[in-house]
Homo-oligomer: A and B are copies of this chain.
């Protein structure tokens, strides 16, 4: 009996860590956001609707793991955990708008502009971006700079513009298309994942070499994650994804699969994963969770 129980309850350290990250992130986000009883209620309700939509909290988990790897306390990184998720949520709300990707579903629920209206969704995204900066500012000016760069036209916003501009550009010369693809992936996805890892280090008061290692880890694992996402969009079902599958191909988007094919995408995703693991060397020996997180970002089914 006892033996069988032990086998059943075999602990999965990563699952436990992720559950802990969700709990901490949700608490930090709740404290960072005005209550939806506060005026203007519709705006605050829309902000909370999108923030508390059952996300995996991957970016806050990276903040937490990076902070712990540098010897920081969980409390120290709560502002950064909230900030990266607020920023990420704002980009999702705006990306889903009719003028952009025109998505009706996000994480299996109506997107913000479908649940509320377009004006409220634009404003909810705008306010979430401001709130992200208000969250991170307690960590000092370097933290604001890291978040600002990831949020700028050289980060997520530039990546989204590139992504939209890349649609239906199948006639572009292959070399240009591959270069555009890498730019999109670095700016749209890797920039904020990189920033999350660096902010975790800043939260812990880590020295510059640690921050550089975390940045390199975040950049590579972010690329691996986005390429794995392209693979999932091409192979998984809408039900598994919680959003419309196969949309990238339908919209003629510049994905790794479209440019290089499925096999090359799987190979590159694992190559970037290896690079991210190598980048952790200066931080050893406290990197088990970061390593497990990078593997999880590649080998997932949704």
**Complex: how many Å from CA A260 to CA B143?**
46
When distances are taken between beta carbons in the complex, the residues of chain B under 8 Å from A122 are 94, 97, 99-100, 122
Q: Among A34, A118, A137, which residue has the most Cβ atoms of chain B within 10 A?
A: A137
Q: Decide yes or no whether A295 CB sits under 8 A from chain B.
A: no
Contact call A120/B152, Cβ cutoff below 8 A: no
Task: Determine the chain B residues whose CB is within 8 A of the CB of A144 once the complex forms.
Answer: 133, 137, 141, 144
Interface size class of A (residues with CB under 8 A): 35 or more
Whether a CB of chain B sits under 8 angstroms from the CB of A274 is no
Which A residues, 25 to 78, have Cβ-Cβ distances below 8 Å to chain B?
A: 34, 39-40, 42-44, 47
Cβ of A153 within 8 Å of any chain B Cβ, yes or no, is yes
Tell me whether A133 and B133 are in contact (CB under 8 A): yes
**Nearest Cβ on chain B to A66's Cβ, whole angstroms:** 21
Whether A39 touches B162, Cβ cut-off 8 Å, given contacts A99-B122, A133-B144, A153-B47, is: yes
The one of B119, B129, B154, B157 in contact with A164, judged by C-beta atoms closer than 8 angstroms, is B119
Q: Which residues of B contact A133 (CB under 8 A)?
A: 133, 144, 147-148, 151
Residues in A124-164 with C-beta less than 8 Å from chain B: 125-127, 129-131, 133-134, 137-138, 140-141, 144-145, 147-149, 151-155, 157-158, 160-162, 164
Distance (whole angstroms) from the CB of A80 to the closest CB of chain B: 14
A183 proximal to B (CB < 8 A): yes
- Contacts A39-B158, A137-B148, A144-B144 supplied; 20 other A-B pairs, CB < 8 Å: A39-B162, A40-B153, A40-B162, A42-B165, A90-B126, A94-B123, A120-B164, A123-B153, A123-B160, A125-B126, A127-B153, A127-B157, A130-B157, A131-B148, A131-B153, A133-B148, A133-B151, A134-B145, A137-B145, A138-B141
